[in-house]
Amino acid sequence: MEIKVADYLVKKLKFLGIENVFGLPGDYNFNILDAIIKDDELNWTNCTNELNASYAADGYARIKGYGAIVTTYGVGELSAINGIAGSMAENVPVIHIVGTPKTSFIEKNVIVHHNFSDVNYHNFQNAYKNVVKTTAFLNFDNAKEEIDRIFDVFVNEKMPVYIAIPIDVTEHLIKEDDFDKINYKKSEELTLNEAADKIVSLIEKSKNPVIFFDYLCKRYKLQNEILNFIDKTNMKFGTFLMGKGVIDELNSNFIGVNAGKLSPSVQETIKASDLIITMGFLNVDLNTGGFSAFEKEIDIEIKKDEVIIQGKIYKNVLIQDIISKLNEKITKTFEKNNFKQTTKKITGKEKIQTDDILPIIETLFDENDVFTMETGLVSLSGAFLNLKSKMEYISQTLWGSIGWATPALFGAMLADKKRNHIMFTGEGAHQLTVQEAANFFEYDLHPVIFVLNNSGYTVERVLSKDPNDKFNDITNWNYIKLMQAFSDNKDFYSKKVLTTKDFIETINEIKTLKGKKLCYIEIITDKNDFGTLCNKFISNMKNFASTL
C-alpha cells in the first residue's frame, strides 16, 4: 500500500506517542499541517512564535518522551533554532519538520520569499547541522528511507533531529511498509556482561557505596529500572539538579541532590563512601554547584553508551542495557537507610526574602504534581525543594536560555493534562516569552504561575562588577493586567504579594483553587536580594577557575 509522504510522517509521529505538534503555519508547510489536522489522533497546536513553539515542544518531550515542531522555511526555522539548540544540549528528543519551496524552485535556484538574494536552499539545513543530531532534506527518491533513518536516530540518541520537506514532496506516494519499525541500537553483549560483572563485584565488595542518577536516566525513561535497583540493594542514592525527581525523593535511601559544596550533608555521605557511582551524569557548572560535586574520584561512570570502571572504558554498552543487566545480576542488599526530608525554616521577616520563596511554594506541593523551574541562578534553589511522591521536576540547566519556562510549561501541560502544574520564573525571563501564556486560556489549562519581580536580571546583577549597572534593569510591567489581556475575559486568580504573611495566606487560597483555575502570583522582593546560594555558587566558580 502507498501513502503520501506527509501522511507517512504523521504515522511515525503517532507511533512514538506524540499527540501534539507545535508550531506556526506558513505557506510552505500547509501540506504538512493538512496531514496533521485531518488525523483524529494528532493535534495541531498553534504557538505565538516559533521560538516559543520550540520551547513548548521541549517541555512536552520532557514529560511525554518525544516532541515535535513544524515551521516554515527560513524565517520560521531560524526563529526556532535557539530552542532546538537547547534540546540538543540537554538530550531532549524534539523533531523539527520544515516545509520548503517546491522542488523545481530548489533545482533552479529561484528566489522566492524567506530567502537570501544569493539563494542557497540548503543554507538553513546547514545551520541546523550544528544544533541537531542529524538532518535530512527530502526528495522524491529518498523520502521514505530518510524519514526512517531520521526516526532511528531520534529514538536511539534521544536528541533533536531535522527534516526539510519541499511542498510537492509531501504529496509524493511512498510505501507504507514498516512505518512502525525502529532499528534499535544494541550493546555489545560480551562487553555488557563483562562491565556488569565488574560493577556487581565492586558493589558486593563495598561496605558503603553511593550512586547518583542524572538527566539521561530521565531521557531514557529508566525510572522503573533504577527504582528496582535501589529497592533490591537499599543502596544510598542521590541525584543532580538535572536529574532531580528521577526517583521518589521520599524514598528512605535518598540522601539529597548533589549540588557540590552547596549540599554539605551529601558531601559528608560521599566522604564516608568507599564506592562512588554515577549514571547519566553531566559535569557542568550549574549541575554541580560550581564543579564541586566530588572531591574524590568517581569509581564507576555509567554514560550514554559506555561505562568507565576505575579508569577502564567499556564501549558499546548502552545505559538502558547496563541497568537491566545489573538488576539481573545484583544480589547484595545493604542495611536499609532512613534519610528524611528536612523542613526548611521561614525567616518570618515582614518583607519577602528570596531564600523564603521556594520553601513557601513547596507547601503547595501534592503528590504527582509537575514543577517547572525557570533557568538561571534562580534554579539553584530548586535542588533543595522537597518533592512529594511521584512529582516531576523540569528545568533547563545546561543551555540556560531565559524565557524557556513559560512556553515549556505550556508544552508540559499538554503532555499530561491530568496532573497539576506549577511554575516559578523571574520577570526578566518571563518578559521574553510571556505571550505564550495566552494559550493557557485558549486550551483551558490551569497552572499555578509564580513570577519573581526583583526589578531586573538577577543573574547579571550577581555576575557583573556593579549590580546596579543600568543594563541589569528592565522595564517594569503590570503583569496581572497583562494576564487580563491574554485571558480575553476568562476567569483566573491573581495576586501581587509583598510580605511573607500575604504570601503564605495566598498559598492557602491557592490550595483550594489548584487545578480549577489559572493562578498567577507576582512576588516582590528587593533587587539586591540574591539569596545565599547565588553567592556561594559564585565563590565555588571562582575557586574552580583559579585551578585552571
Each residue's pLDDT tens digit, 33-88: 999 999 999 999 999 999 999 999 999 999 999 999 999 999 999 999 999 999 99
Each residue's pLDDT tens digit, 229-245: 999 999 999 999 999 99
- Mean confidence (pLDDT) of the chain: 93
In a 10 Å sphere around its CB, with 0-12 CB exposed, 13-18 middle and 19+ buried, how is residue 481 labelled? exposed
pLDDT of residue 206: 97
**pTM for the structure as a whole:** 0.95
Least confident of 20-34, 278-292, 441-455, 517-531: 517-531
Each residue's pLDDT tens digit, 145-158: 999 999 999 999 99
From residue 104, alpha-carbon distances to 115, 122, 154 in Å are 15, 14, 29
pLDDT of residue 468: 74
Backbone angles phi, psi at 463, to 5 degrees: -85, -25
Question: What CA–CA distance (Å, rounded) separates 541 from 276?
Answer: 23
Question: Which of the four pLDDT bands, split at 50, 70 and 90, describes residue 537?
Answer: confident
Residue 502: in which H helix or E strand, if any? helix 500-513
Q: Between helices 75-89 and 50-64, what is the axis angle to 10°?
A: 30
Mean local confidence (pLDDT), 397-424: 96
Question: What CA–CA distance (Å, rounded) separates 425 from 99?
Answer: 33
Residue 461: in which H helix or E strand, if any? helix 458-463
Matching CATH topology for 2-175 and 354-537? yes
- Fold adopted by 2-175: Rossmann fold (3.40.50)
Give CA torsion, residues 511, 513, 519, 523, to 10 deg. -30
Query: Could you tell me if 74 and 104 are in contact, meaning their C-beta atoms sit under 8 angstroms apart?
Result: no
R_g of the chain computed on alpha carbons: 24
The strand pair at 370-373 and 421-426 is best described as parallel
pLDDT of residue 462: 67
pLDDT score of 469 more than 90: no
What is the DSSP code string of 100-122?
A: E--HHHHHTT---SSS-SS--TT
Q: Residue holding cell 551524569?
A: 281
Question: What CA–CA distance (Å, rounded) separates 28 from 237?
Answer: 50
pLDDT score of 470 more than 90: no
Q: What residues form DSSP beta bridges with 302?
A: 279, 307
Q: Give per-residue burial for 49-67: e unless 16+ CB within 10 Å, then b.
A: bbbbbbbbbbbbbbbbbbb
Query: Could you tell me if 279 and 239 are in contact, meaning their C-beta atoms sit under 8 angstroms apart?
Result: no
Number of H helices, E strands in the chain: 21, 21
pLDDT of residue 342: 78
Query: Could you tell me if 51 and 83 are in contact, meaning their C-beta atoms sit under 8 angstroms apart?
Result: yes
In 3D, which of 226, 256, 251, 221 has the Cα closest to residue 239?
256
Q: CB neighbours (10 Å) of residue 41?
A: 10
Question: What CA–CA distance (Å, rounded) separates 451 from 202?
Answer: 47
Mean local confidence (pLDDT), 348-367: 91
Q: What residues form DSSP beta bridges with 306?
A: 315
CATH number listed for the domain at residues 189-329: 3.40.50.1220
Question: Which of the four pLDDT bands, split at 50, 70 and 90, describes residue 534?
Answer: confident
Q: Residue holding cell 527534516?
A: 163
Mean local confidence (pLDDT), 3-19: 97
- Where helices occur in 330-418 by DSSP H, the ranges are 354-362, 405-415
Backbone angles phi, psi at 520, to 5 degrees: -130, 115
Q: Give per-residue burial for 123-145: e unless 16+ CB within 10 Å, then b.
A: ebbeebeebbbbbbbbbeeebbe
Show me where the domains of the chain are located: 2-175, 189-329, 354-537
The strand pair at 236-239 and 254-257 is best described as parallel
pLDDT score of 538 more than 80: no
In 3D, which of 199, 214, 211 has the Cα closest to residue 235?
211
Q: Give per-residue burial for 380-393: e unless 16+ CB within 10 Å, then b.
A: bbbbbbbbbeebbb
Can you say whether the dihedral through the CA atoms of 183, 184, 185, 190 is positive or negative?
negative
- Fold adopted by 354-537: Rossmann fold (3.40.50)
The cell for 450 is: 509564580
Question: Which of the four pLDDT bands, split at 50, 70 and 90, describes residue 542?
Answer: low
SS3 at position 468: coil
The cell for 476 is: 517594569
The residues, ordered by sequence, that sit 6+ positions from 69 with a Cβ below 8 Å of its Cβ are: 21, 22, 23, 50, 53, 54, 56, 57, 80, 84, 94, 95, 96, 97
